[in-house]
Amino acid sequence: MNVIEPGGTIGILGGGQLGRMMATAAKHMGYRIAVLDPAEDCPAAQVADIHVKGKYDDLEAAGELGLHSDVVTYEFENVDERVSQFFENEGKLPQGTLPLAVSQNRGKEKEFAKKAGIHVPAYRLIQTGEEFDRAVTDIGLPAVMKTVSGGYDGKGQYLLRSPEDCSSAREDIWDGKYDGKYIVEKWVDIDKEVSQVFTRDSAGDISFFPVAENVHKDQVLFTTTVPASISDNETREIRKRTEALAEELGVVGTFAVEWFVSGEDVYFNEMAPRPHNSGHYTIEACSVSQFEQHIRAICGLPLLPVHTFPAAKMINVLGRHRDDLFQSLGSEQVHVHDYGKHESRPQRKMGHVTIIGSSPDDIKLGEPAWSKSW
C-alpha cells in the first residue's frame, strides 16, 4: 500500500461526529480534510478544508471528493455501495467495499461470523408474515426482530416476549416497513455487552484497545467503561474471535465488534467497519486514540502501541441533556466533547464526556451528578 504522507488530503464520506473526530486527529498529524455530506454545516465540515455538499449516493459528488483526495474513508456504514466501489476501483479506499457491504446487512454479518468459526445465536431471515411465524416457532420466545439493513440506536428493533408483541411486529412486516426485510434472533440472557475496538493495517498487523463494557438505556449507548468486568480468559477468547473475523473480512483501519457475554459463553452481536461510539474513551484514556490509529492504517503508517489509563468511562450526552454537558466543564476529571450540532433533539447524540482515573472507584467519584438521571 502507498504511504500517504502528512500534507496529503483525506476524503471522508459522511460529516457526522465520527468524521469530525477523524478529521481532528488527522489535522493534528498534518493532513488536509475533504468531506462529502449533504448538510451545510455538519460537524465534520466545521473542521475540514473542503466540503463537497452532496448526497451519499451522488456519484458526481463522489467524483468531486475523489479529485481532492489522496485516500478516502467512511465514517458510517450507510454509504452507497456504488460510491464505495467507485473509490475502491480508483485505488483510494484501503478499507474496501466488502466490510462495508457485510456490515450493512445483518444476515451477511451472521454468515461471515459463522465462516470465521464464531458462535452466533440462532436466527432466521424473513420477509413475509408466514416466514415470521415459522421463525418464531423454530426459535421460540423470547426473541428479537431487527431490520436486515438500516436502523440504529434501537430503530427498527422489536423485542418479542409475548403473542401480543409478535402480532405488533407482524403488522409492520405487512405494512412494508424497512422494505419488509428482517432478521429474527434468539434472545440471549446476557450478563453484559462488551465491545472490542481494534485497528488493523494493510499488512495484517492488529492493535487492540482494551475490551470495553457497554450499558444501554432505551436501546441507545449510555456508558462505556474500561476495564470491562470480564475474566482474562474471556478477553483472550474475544480477541481470538475478533481477529478471526478481521482476517475473514480483510479489515483495514479501525473496526469494532460487539459481543454478548452470558456465563462462560461469548456470542457475536454486530460489527461496525469504522471507529465506534464505544471507543471514544480512547481520545483521553489511551496513548493513541482509535481515530489516530485509523488515520495511520488508511495512510499506510505504522500503528502505535496502545497504553491505557487504569480506568475510564465515557457517557453519551443526548439532546435532552445538552445543557448538562456544559456543566461538566468545571469538573477536574471530566473531558467534554461537543459535536457542534445545531439541532438538539431529545434522543440525538450531541456530545460525550470522558472521565479518567486511577481505579473504577475513582471514576465513580468523578461522575457528574446529571448522569445519574440519564
As annotated, the binding site for ATP includes: 106, 146, 151-157, 185-188, 193, 216, 269-270
Measuring CA to CA, which residue among 195, 93, 109, 112 is closest to residue 149? 109
Binding-site residue ranges: 106, 146, 151-157, 185-188, 193, 216, 269-270
Q: Provide CB contacts within 8 A for 359, sequence distance 6+.
A: 310, 311
Q: Provide CB contacts within 8 A for 238, sequence distance 6+.
A: 194, 196, 211, 230, 259, 266
Q: What is the 3-state secondary structure (H, E, C) of the chain?
A: CCCCCECEEEEEECCCHHHHHHHHHHHHCCCEEEEECCCCCCCCHHHCCEEECCCCCCHHHHHHHHHHCCEEEECCCCCCHHHHHHHHHCCCCCCCCHHHHHHCCHHHHHHHHHHCCCCCCCEEEECCHHHHHHHHHHHCCCEEEEECCCCCCCCCEEEECCHHHHHHHHHHHHCCHHHHCEEEEECCCCCEEEEEEEEECCCCCEEECCCEEEEEECCEEEEEEECCCCCHHHHHHHHHHHHHHHHHHCCCEEEEEEEEEECCEEEEEEEECCCCHHHCCHHHHECCCHHHHHHHHHCCCCCCCCCECCEEEEEEEEHHHHHHHHHHHHCCCEEEEECCCCCCCCCCEEEEEEEEECCHHHHHHHCCHHHHHC
